[in-house]
Amino acid sequence: MSLTKLLIPTYMQMLKALSGWLKKAEAQMPKEDAEALLAARLAPDMFPLSTQIRFVCVQAQEPIYRLRGEAFPKSIHQLVDEGRNAIDKPGSLADAHARIDEALNLLDGLAPDALDVDLDAPIVLELPSGMIFDLTAEQYARDWALAQFYFHLMTAYAILRSEKVELGKVEYIPHMLEFLRPESISEA
């Protein structure tokens, strides 16, 4: 299995979908209502949409460095700090689009084998809480990197839906339309 072929297309497709969800919200609402979405959250103890967007971008970039054994650049630390402080400083939708575009540009600039490390290479994952996980590169990609990315992505989707943004399956998986057999579309 190629970790580059697994992770990078997945991250790029879903970051583009996230950008599309935000554009759809902007098209459906007055500007001030759309901007207010950034402070929305599913539960009082959860981070708001603005944090979820930033953390999606973090999760799409973190494996690039972790799998290659490289230190995180300052930009990732800044994104994490922005996300943690987004309750007080949610930023704007323009900021959100900029973060998504930055992540997409980084991913798009990677070599076709950028993350193709030894699948059994050890990865030490230390969380801010002090918990430490010993994983292989394959376990890290499958069990942590993708899971964390989708957690924040789906939380963003759920926040937007709970705030009455009209999103459906087509907006969730627009990249699948290129594989659709035209004759299989029902006229019902």
What beta strand segments (E) does the chain contain? 122-126, 132-136
Angle at 45 between CA 80 and CA 152, to 5 degrees: 45
Q: CA-to-CA distance for 109 and 74, rounded, in angstroms? A: 18
What is the pTM assigned to this prediction? 0.93
Cβ 163 vs Cβ 39: under 8 Å: no
pLDDT at 83: 92
pLDDT at 167: 94
Query: What is the predicted pLDDT for the residue at 1?
Result: 73
User: 49: how many CB neighbours lie within 10 A of its CB?
Assistant: 29
How many Å apart are CA 145 and CA 62, to the nearest integer?
Answer: 8
Task: Say what the pLDDT of residue 119 is.
Answer: 95
What is the CATH architecture of 3-184? Up-down Bundle (1.20)
Q: Spell out the domain ranges in the chain.
A: 3-184
Q: C-alpha distances in angstroms, 62 versus 10, 89, 113, 125, 161?
A: 14, 23, 16, 11, 27
**How many residues would you count in the chain?**
188
Distance CA 5, CA 176 (A): 16
Please give the Cα distance from 13 to 172 (Å, whole number): 10
Task: Tell me the per-residue pLDDT of 67-106, one tens digit each, with 9 for 90 and over.
Answer: 999 999 999 999 999 999 988 899 999 999 999 999 999 9
Q: What are the residue ranges in the chain where pLDDT is below 70? A: 187-188
Other C-beta atoms closer than 10 Å to the C-beta of 170 total: 11
Q: DSSP letter for 101, please.
A: H
pLDDT score of 188: 52
Element (H, E) at 183: none
Contact 38, 26 (CB under 8 A): no
